[in-house]
Amino acid sequence: MATMPASASDLLKSFKLKTKQQELLIRVSILCLVYILAFITRLFSVLRYESMIHEFDPYFNYRTTLYLTENGFYDFWNWFDYESWYPLGRIVGGTLYPGLMVTAVLIYRILRFLRFAVHIREVCVLTAPFFASNTTLVAYFFGKEIWDSGAGLVAAILIAVCPGYISRSVAGSYDNEGVAIFALLFTFYVFVKAVNTGSLAWSLASAFGYFYMVSAWGGYVFIINLIPLYVLVLLITGRYSMRLYVAYNCMYILGMLLAMQIRFVGFQHVQSGEHMAAMGVFFLMQVFYFLDWVKHMLSDTKLFQAFLRITVTSAVAVGGIALGLGMVSGYISPWTGRFYSLLDPTYAKDHIPIIASVSEHQPTAWSSFMFDFHILLFLFPAGLYFCFKRLSDATIFIVMYGLTSMYFAGVMVRLILVATPAVCLISAIAVSTTVKNLTVLLRSKNKVVQTGSTKGSGGSKSSSKALLDQSQPFQKNGAIALLFGAFYLLSRYATHCTWVTSEAYSSPSIVLAARGAHGNRVIFDDYREAYFWLRQNTPQDAKVMSWWDYGYQITAMGNRTVIVDNNTWNNTHIATVGRAMSSYEDEAIEIIRSLDVDYVLVVFGGVTGYSSDDINKFLWMVRIGGGVFPVIKEPDYLVNGEYRVDKGAAPKMLNCLMYKLCYYRFGEMMTEYGKPPGYDRARGVEIGNKDVKLEHLEEAFTTSNWIVRIYRVKPANNRW
């Protein structure tokens, strides 16, 4: 530069333009790479196993998607499914969030239109990774909106591989959350954009984003509570503006009207307690606007103060009375159990065992925070610090999003997912700002040298130069060291994320893998074996009773009617099944007959050491059954408060139906060398009742590794 010819200014100009282009090029290529990375890092499960749907709920989603592709939207909308919840049936169309299925079918139709002969299953398998990729783009724009494009890029990279998000969006995990996180982040981004610009168009877009979110996932309640809370905070901190007024009112009214179009939500949006906060804030906004106008009209401050007092008091009173009347008359429904359990983590445990029994509803352990966030956990507070240093409407939003969702993530494991985008964004701010500051330090030192040789610059710059000059050597080394440290941490993060994805989150859980004695991989495909057996060997209208966990899979893969399934809408029905499982056989058979059950299916891990089987879930069956039928008492199944299945187990435990069905013929089996027969490998004990006799049921099928056992209900005795 120093040897530049005379036309330096011209060249400099063109060079400057070039930097901008280069910067754009780099940014776009980084985004493209991130987009691809987010997709391919989620393909471990497909490569390891096969292209299949994972877990429990995705099977229901898959089944409904299949129905949608085959029968069209109106049949789907009106679908009454009589294969589940026998004999009650389930109005599927009115009790699900159709966003995921519609999205998948739309992608499927587009691909078909483009002459890609794909099967709907492939589309379903890859929907979540595709939306994860889209989420990275939204994260970039969101980061750009609240901070700068550097923070946006870092946020995109962080969220692309963050395990907290990958856990719910690997290929095959065809669940509502897969698209919902995209919708959530998109809604927030567009809303913040609307608040920043005050544009009606952006707030309209956020209303549509909200509509998509409502159609996709029940987690939309988070949006409709967080945004009013944010608005309230802005009002309190005196940041009320016309932009906010436009953004919120438009978003709320249109979003509400759109959300009410989803059958599952319907009038809940104006009637249930969870949505009342949004409505209250909406009216508060109108009061604020009115007061602003009055203030503008009245020049007398004293008069305005009096007016303000009267208005606020009466507004609060009217609101309180309306809420009270609504509650008393039942027009406004109270909060649901799930909502309560979010605010009070101990609520579900005491009152609703069916919510507490789900493993993903458990309070989060510290280790899983570390597991899912890794360094983001440390960067999060740093990012919050930067946000507080540069408070704006946008940063206030992200701070509130981060703090509330972190609280919810602590209450329930599955809500780590909701917190992940916020954590990534805030951490991105920390990373981006730190790295930027450090590089500025490094580069400004170079500049000092350069500027020293070139002509002098402005006074302010020289003063800062002087400041820099004072501690130059220490700063330079420190900056380099810190930069390396940062890069080291970030590379550790990438390694950790990849490792977690490949080891922990890419297992389909319907096919189990274990290490054999020689280090080779052993695959247990018992679930599909059992469901296939059901499909092939039982009558078309056979009814299968199992614990609700397996309901969706039995209907989707076995194509048989189930009594209860993972849509736990009727607690009594589930409790009836729980009661049957925890009763003696001759009592259970009455329940089984009254439900017209033909087959009973249990999952048993004693042979393989598979620990999430029905014996380990059994106490929840007792609790849920006992919650409705007090004849079932939990202490009957425990010995000194201890749950055991060996010789010291409670007599009721040793003779209840679930125990008998799991351990039938198990007493004569050698499971492990050097152990007595009937040694349960999942519990590590020798079972207590080896001589199990069944009277009303008979073994129909047991899979090769005994994981699934199916029993046929015998007809009533002919002569008795």
Partner 1 sequence: MGKLWLICIASISILLPFLCNAFSPETPTDRRVLVLLDDFAIMSSHSLYFNALKSRGFDLEFKLADDPKIALQRYGQYLYDALILFCPSVERFGGSIDVAAIVNFVDSGHDLIVAADVNASDLIREVGTECGVDFDEDPSAMVIDHIGYAVSGTEGDHTLIASDDFIKSDVILGGKKIEAPILFRGIGHAVSPANSLVLKVLSASPSAYSANPKSKLSTPPPLTGSAISLVSIVQARNNARLLITGSLSMFSNRFFRSGVQKARSQTKHEKSGNEQFLTEISKWIFHERGHLKAVNVKHHRVGETDEPALYRINDELEYAVEIYEWSGTSWEPYVANDVQLQFYMMSPYVLKTLSSDKKGLYSTSFKVPDVYGVFQFKVEHQKLGYTSLSLSKQIPVRPYRHNEYERFIPAAYPYYGAAFSMMAGFFIFSFAHLYSK
Binding positions for partner 1, rule: CB under 8 A: 74, 77-78, 80, 82, 86-89, 91, 541, 594-595, 715-720
Closer CB to partner 1, 414 or 573, in the complex: 573
| Min separation Cβ 283 and partner 1, Å | 19
Residues 157 and 165 sit within 8 Å (Cβ to Cβ): no
DSSP 715: P
| Min separation Cβ 79 and partner 1, Å | 9
**Distance separating alpha carbons of residues 59 and 580, to the nearest angstrom:** 26
Per DSSP bridges, beta strands 543-545 and 599-603 are parallel
**Distance separating alpha carbons of residues 38 and 155, to the nearest angstrom:** 12
Closer CB to partner 1, 693 or 719, in the complex: 719
Cis omega (within 30 of 0) for bond into 363:
no
Closer CB to partner 1, 230 or 599, in the complex: 599
| Min separation Cβ 719 and partner 1, Å | 5
| Min separation Cβ 716 and partner 1, Å | 6
| Min separation Cβ 81 and partner 1, Å | 9
Collapsing DSSP states into helix, strand and coil, what is residue 176?
helix
Closer CB to partner 1, 100 or 591, in the complex: 591
Closer CB to partner 1, 674 or 715, in the complex: 715
Residues 420 and 372 sit within 8 Å (Cβ to Cβ): yes
**Distance separating alpha carbons of residues 186 and 436, to the nearest angstrom:** 26
Closer CB to partner 1, 73 or 283, in the complex: 73
What kind and span of H or E run contains 701?
strand 697-702
**Distance separating alpha carbons of residues 482 and 81, to the nearest angstrom:** 60
| Min separation Cβ 252 and partner 1, Å | 18
Instruction: Region of 458 please: left (phi>0), alpha (psi -120 to 50) or beta.
Output: beta
Closer CB to partner 1, 467 or 716, in the complex: 716
| Min separation Cβ 125 and partner 1, Å | 31
Residues 411 and 345 sit within 8 Å (Cβ to Cβ): yes
Residues 203 and 231 sit within 8 Å (Cβ to Cβ): no
Closer CB to partner 1, 80 or 267, in the complex: 80
| Min separation Cβ 563 and partner 1, Å | 11
Q: CA angle, corner 289, sides to 283 and 290, nearest 5?
A: 90
Residues 545 and 593 sit within 8 Å (Cβ to Cβ): no
| Min separation Cβ 331 and partner 1, Å | 17
Sorted by sequence, the CB contacts under 8 Å of residue 271 that are 6+ apart come out as 331, 332, 333
**Distance separating alpha carbons of residues 308 and 291, to the nearest angstrom:** 7
| Min separation Cβ 547 and partner 1, Å | 20
Closer CB to partner 1, 384 or 713, in the complex: 713
Residues 168 and 128 sit within 8 Å (Cβ to Cβ): yes
Collapsing DSSP states into helix, strand and coil, what is residue 713?
strand
| Min separation Cβ 544 and partner 1, Å | 14
| Min separation Cβ 389 and partner 1, Å | 44
Closer CB to partner 1, 302 or 693, in the complex: 693
Closer CB to partner 1, 641 or 715, in the complex: 715
Count CB atoms within 10 A of the CB of residue 374: 22
Any long-range contacts for 711-716 (C-beta under 8 Å, 24+ apart)? 711/599, 711/600, 711/601, 711/602, 711/661, 711/664, 712/598, 712/599, 713/589, 713/592, 713/593, 713/597, 713/598, 713/599, 713/600, 716/593
Q: Report residue 458: phi and psi, to 5°.
A: -65, 160
Closer CB to partner 1, 578 or 688, in the complex: 578
Q: Judging by beta carbons within 10 Å of its beta carbon (0-12, 13-18, 19+), is residue 568 exposed, middle or buried? A: middle
